[in-house]
Structure 1
């Protein structure tokens, strides 16, 4: 019986190969998209799962009155381990991203930017295992340094052992050397991706609770009440901060501080203190993948039901001959399974072809054909699922025909299943409309982000990668003069941060009795001039005022608003043990991009609690850019001895442009999704219109004989489809509005919703429907009525 059903299935598929190609092609394209999305979802949600302690590791963060952060101070980890027996281990890490370090061996050199410092306990918690095993450093001073396998091979080509090696740091004339203890595999599928690791028994020694520059990790015992532990750590942290404190305002402020525990599983996609945009994009991408597959299944179902009349007599005869409905259902499901199986094979070919572009877009290295890929068990399940979802109803419809009706020829005039067929078509176009509206809105938001005034100018500014610190203006002044002597260099400055979206440090500052937290950026002269930041009130730092290097500060508009300042220039704001005199108000500028609101920020030249000033920025005339860069490269060994021959730079506008990366990814995804959904919907509409038109050939012939014009017939055929498309637009409009509003709400600075995208999407779908249906109707309209009626 199975052999007979298989033969019948193959014969029917071949006889209707046009519809079969549409079914298989649409389903294959949708499945290919689904395969890529499923692989990406699995990759993104499995970060650090190779860690055996994965489910018991937490980040300890702190909550201040006006911000939340993962940065804590070194003593906290030790205090937690000593006071709470449910904590098996506690350690701290610090990741350097502020400068690139040149490491050299002979003529070979690498430039490391992500050097992870970790104490021995943190290395154990995070499963950081160098090749040969994790060794405990001897004593308090020793640091065991490891480089990634790739960097080791670059420095020591052909190296086969794991013995320690001597290297030099910085320029060849720096004289700074060190020992690399061995190699370590850099797990890029981890939140702790690095160029190298430095492990010590203890790091941050001597730094008090005021130095919040580290990340604290704890490993708890299975079954620990995490909420209770979180509360106990908060009480411990407050108690540590209150030791020796007598000032009542400070005591009240400390009592408002708390801590939180964030699972390691949250860190990649949705940390409690951080941006959850990657998670939202992953969810959006996953929903798109599922919707595209659903649309393809709907297409499949619709076309199968549309062909019902062609199989009606076959079913009627088989039932008269004694076939049971179950047998017929199995037969039709077999046909559908064969189509789905072919579609799955074709989908894998499509997915493999598209994978390089997908990997490049999302900066990942996914592969279909590897042993650990979950697709090998997921795809068979998906295949069975889509066979059932797309095929069960058509199979039941086809197997349920009544022999007496279909053999008398009455089925063709029946309205059976038309409501479902039309409803599925409306659903298809509703999804397509949502994607079109979404694409238009994403394009508009990105256009707005690229064209909106940032409040500063990154154009013609280069960021020089430098490892020397210039905390004192007199140390940077000789370098500034040498750089300004190069033709084309208009200004030069150095700071702790560049406006590239990265977070600044924060500290508590008091103004007229108000204690609030402000971001701080430590700068040098010409910082605001180099970035073309506008002055709202007062002045910027100037060499003519000697006190500017001691206790002058510039604040931005947001900081003034936070304190409710009126005429703040000349007034005092205190922080980090210094009474700063406010000399100017800078206009707000979007240093963190468009997703985050401009942070209240204070700028100063001297800050005992600040970071090292290593970020050198130069403003260069556009016409002289090439010559100036060449001169800087050739003269850099004399300009900055510590960097020597290692002159490296980035254009600040390109660096800032990386903040748009996630939204550009979303734009590309929506563009592809919109094309796919429209394509699949049009494929279904094309085949469906062909079926409907062929079924009305005699009606059209009669109308033409009775005097109907071609335009009237076109209008007749198109009208029902246009109604369905209009209904789809009406249904999808509110849904698209809600989804787009939720997306736009993730931006602090965004466009406003307008009716234009909804109108454009309606016009696009109506136009495509008219073209698709009219192409099919054209043959019937131009046919000779005699050919359709000569057998009647």
Structure 2
């Protein structure tokens, strides 16, 4: 019996090759999209999961009055370890402030992600070399390691793991270091690096005023984290008092400690935004919807072929075959199609994988041994077989022999309403994707064309390791660069407007204290970036006090302190008084997702980092010549890293802030095309089914004198109504979803009406064309063929 059923199934699938191809092809494409997205979701949600202490590691952060931060002072970790037995280990990390060159005799690599850790952090976070990690012998001892890729670049023929002597920075500077060994960097981790120094202790002589370290703790299993947070918070306040910090201010009183799990750090850190997490949820829902509408489409196409299987079912039932046997037979046929669709889906996913990896900057592979897809796919196959096949199987196995053998049967009215509902769902999803795509594109266009408050064009950012905090040290370098033809201005700062966060500190004006950002700059900073002045003046060499205690604030800072006439006012912070000499207009240094932060700019700042970020404004017509001359003269201009001239265009760096949203736009574009394609296939199937069922009605109408246009209008009317209903359902959903997405931006568009109208026009046009093409066959058919047996 099984052999007979298999022959019938294969013969039936071959006989209806066109519909079978559409069925299998549509499901295969949807499965390919689902596989790619699910692999990416699995990758993004399993960062650091290979760490055996994954569930017990937390980062210690601080909730400030205006924001949250993961930066803490180095003595805090030691105090936590000494006071709380439930804390098994404490580790401290600090990221390097700049990129530097590492050279062997013949080759050079660049450390752009230099990480300093203490011994406990290296063990806790599994930052372990290929050989056993040795503990530094004393506080001054440093174990310097390189990522395997960097070591292979420097020593391509190296076969052992013996220490190697390398040069740091320019070879002319003569600064050397010993590389103890290599570490295979886990790129599927939140803690990555290309150069690592392991120390016995970090920040040994620094007090609670140095809030520029990350503190990780490992707790015992079952620890009450909420209670531990409270205890660490109390300890922190007491330690501040012991350290002589002023805890009487509102800023310190409102500062509290929080513990954020390691598993949260990649997608939804407490001290950060969860935009990546929201994008991932959107992608997951998108993938499931695509697969769902593909299953709906499969169901409709299968039911459209029901009339061709009716007599087969009737004969089998007369011969004594039970309904459950027929159901099993039809499910087996559908399983065969789903298996083929799955194989094709895997092949399509493999073909699309390079472009997908390039889009999301990942290196996923379907055939890797640890891919969860290998055991998930059989479950997915069974699920889609059941979802797509159970309804057609029940319909086909439920035909009454007495009706089907006479050639006169109709499926139930409930079945009709269900199929209508499924088609409406398909088009509703398609409309949501089309509308969302158009709104995302509008927001991205707004971000690309909106005035950000500064001009990154023609500004070149030069990588540098020389510290220019003292203007007198920087002035000779500035003069040498300015002699090069085409250079308009030169400046240096502690940061560039590429989305990077600035430092923050407490500043007081007229008795009002607030935590605001600060950025250490030099002369010509605002002129180089073409930042507009709102009041007062820029820093000027003619005023000697500008290098001592002058400050410029932005409009947000003036508003935060309620200053209507800030020029000449005193602002105190970092144990010194600044005189406000200017107010600049707000500019979007952090992009569109984050509001412009109240910021203070100064040339001298005791609390700031070293000024290393060089920016040059170059004439567009002399750009290539100026850069070539800079490269040639760089060893003389900047001896510390003169061998390694590297530059970037600032507008390219700023443009990377839009990368995530551009990825989302690309995904929604593909999803919109895919859902339209699948929905059109479903519409084609349903139109075919409805037309076949109404052949006799069409023949009677033609005999009675109905024109072709009237019949086409009749057949289109019900589908037109369904698409209108789909638009009415999907518009509110699309509005809510896109509104939620737009709320992740501090600066955004108002939701326009045009995308909703365009989505309606597209779906209506596709419906009319698809149904008319299918209905045209019925209209042109001879009425005699439909009525000759009546």
Q: What TM-score, normalized to structure 2?
A: 0.98
Aligned to 1:230: 229
Distance in 1 of aligned mates of 2:245 and 2:312: 94
1:180/1:413 CA distance change after superposition, 3 Å: closer
CA distance change for structure 1 residues 414 and 185 in 2, over 3 Å: closer, same or farther? closer
Q: What is the CA-CA distance between 1:708 and the residue it aligns to?
A: 2.0
Separation in 1, partners of 2:749, 2:723: 28
248 and 693 in structure 1: CA distance in 2 versus 1, 3 angstrom threshold: closer
Residue 311 of structure 1 deviates from its aligned partner by: 1.8
Per the alignment, residue 188 of structure 1 pairs with 187
In 1, Cα distance between equivalents of 2:222 and 2:607: 40
Deviations 1:98-133 (A, max 9, x none): 421001011200111101100001111111111112
What CA distance in whole angstroms lies between the structure 1 residues aligned with 2:66 and 2:86? 30
Partner of residue 151, structure 1: 150
The one of 548, 551, 555 equivalent to 1:550 is 548
Shift of 1:523: 0.1
Report SS of the residue matched to 2:508.
strand
- Say whether the 8 Å CA contact 1:689–1:776 is kept in structure 2: yes
Distance 1:244 1:354, change over 3 A: closer
Find the aligned partners of 2:608 and 2:784 in 1 and give their Cα distance: 91
Contact (CA 8 Å) 1:305, 1:421: kept in 2 or not?
no
Q: Which residue of 2 aligns with 1:477?
A: 475
Q: Contact between 2:146 and 2:182, CA under 8 Å: does it hold in 1?
A: yes
Deviates more, 1:53-62 or 1:705-714: 705-714
Mind listing any 5+ residue stretches in structure 2 that lack a counterpart?
none
Given the alignment of the two structures, is residue 165 of structure 1 paired with residue 149 of structure 2, yes or no? no
Question: Could you say which residue in structure 2 is the equivalent of 1:4?
Answer: 4
2:767 to 760, 766, 769: 769
Q: Which residue of 1 aligns with 2:641?
A: 643
User: Aligned residue for 2:293?
Assistant: 295
> Is residue 2:218 matched to residue 1:219?
yes
Secondary structure in 1 matching 2:709 = helix
Distance 1:701 1:410 in 2: 16
- Structure 1 segment 26-37 matched on structure 2, within 5 A: 26-37=26-37
Q: 1:627 aligns with which of 619, 625, 628?
A: 625
Structure-2 separation of matches of 1:134 and 1:330: 60
Post-superposition Cα deviations, 1:168-219, rounded to whole Å, max 9, x if no partner, equal 1111201111111110101111001110110000111211111111100000
**Quick one: structure 1 residues 656 and 586, their matched pair in 2 at CA, closer, same or farther if it must change by over 3 Å?**
same
**Is the contact made by 1:305 and 1:417 (CA closer than 8 Å) also made in structure 2?**
no
CA offsets 1:450-472 (integer angstroms, 9 cap, x no match): 00000000000010000111001
What's the counterpart of residue 615 of structure 2?
Answer: 617
1:408 CA displacement: 3.1
**Contact kept in structure 2, 1:536 and 1:585, CA below 8 Å:** yes
Instruction: Quote the offset at 1:267 in angstroms.
Output: 0.4
Answering whether residue 47 of structure 2 is matched by residue 43 of structure 1, we say no
Give the aligned CA root-mean-square deviation in angstroms: 1.3
**Which deviates further from its counterpart, 212-221 or 406-415?**
406-415
Secondary structure of 2:648's aligned partner = strand
Spell out, residue by residue over 1:349-373, the C-alpha distance to the aligned partner (whole angstroms, 9 max, x if none).
0000000000000000100112111
- Structure 2 equivalent of residue 445 of structure 1: 443
Does structure 2 retain, via aligned residues, the 8 Å contact 1:309–1:412?
A: no
Check if 1:109 corresponds to 2:108.
yes
Structure 1 CA distance, aligned partners of 2:252 and 2:532? 36
Pairs within 5 Å for 1:122-521: 122-243=121-242, 245=244, 249-250=248-249, 252-412=250-410, 415=413, 417-521=415-519
After superposition, give the CA deviation of every residue in 1:567-606 in whole Å (9 maximum; x if it has no partner): 0100100000110000000100000000000000000000
Mapped to 2, the partners of 1:571 and 1:701 lie a distance apart of 90
Shift of 1:786: 4.2
CA contact (8 A) 1:718 1:770 kept: yes
SS at match of 1:342: helix
Q: Describe the SS at the equivalent of 1:616.
A: strand
Q: For residue 629 of structure 1, give the secondary structure of its aligned residue in structure 2.
A: helix
Q: SS at the partner of 1:103?
A: strand
Whole-angstrom distance in 1 between the partners of 2:705 and 2:488: 81
Measured in 2, the distance between the counterparts of 1:105 and 1:790 equals: 92
Corresponding residue pairs, total: 790
Shift of 1:640: 0.8
Partner of 2:580: 582
Task: Assess if the C-alpha contact under 8 Å between 2:71 and 2:213 holds in 1.
Answer: yes
SS at match of 2:172: coil
SS, match of residue 613 in structure 1: coil
8 Å CA contact retained: 2:208, 2:243: no
Of 657, 660, 672, the residue aligned with 1:659 is 657
Note if contact 2:251-2:514 (Cα within 8 Å) is conserved in structure 1.
Answer: no
SS at match of 1:280: helix
Match of residue 757 from structure 1? 755
* Structure 1 residue aligned with 2:63: 63
Query: Residues 413 and 305 from structure 1, CA distance in 2 versus in 1: closer, same or farther, beyond 3 angstroms?
Result: closer
SS of match in other structure, 2:218: strand
Distance across 2 between alignment mates of 1:788 and 1:88: 83
The 5-angstrom pairing of residues 689-700 of structure 1 reads: 689-700=687-698
Asked if the contact 2:484–2:630 (Cα under 8 Å) also holds between the matched residues in 1, the reply is yes
1:710 paired to 2:704: no
Q: Is the 8 A contact 1:5 1:334 kept in 2?
A: no
Q: Residues 463-521 of structure 1, C-alpha deviation per residue, up to 9 Å, x if partnerless? A: 00001110011111111111111111100000000000011100010111111101000
After TM superposition, give the deviation of residue 254 of structure 1 in Å. 2.0
Worse-matched range after superposition: 396-405 or 81-90 = 396-405
Instruction: Select the residue among 669, 677, 685 that pairs with 2:675.
Output: 677
Does the CA-based 8 Å contact 1:458-1:531 persist in structure 2? Answer: yes
- 1:413 offset after TM fit, Å? 7.3
Q: What displacement does 1:234 show? A: 0.6
Structure 2 vs 1, CA of residues 246 and 45 (structure 1 numbering), >3 Å: closer, same or farther? closer
Distance 1:246 1:589 in 2: 34
Using the TM superposition, give the Cα deviation of residue 782 of structure 1 relative to its aligned residue in structure 2, in angstroms. Answer: 2.9
* Separation in 1, partners of 2:787, 2:401: 27
| CA distance 1:626–1:248, shift in 2 (3 Å) | closer
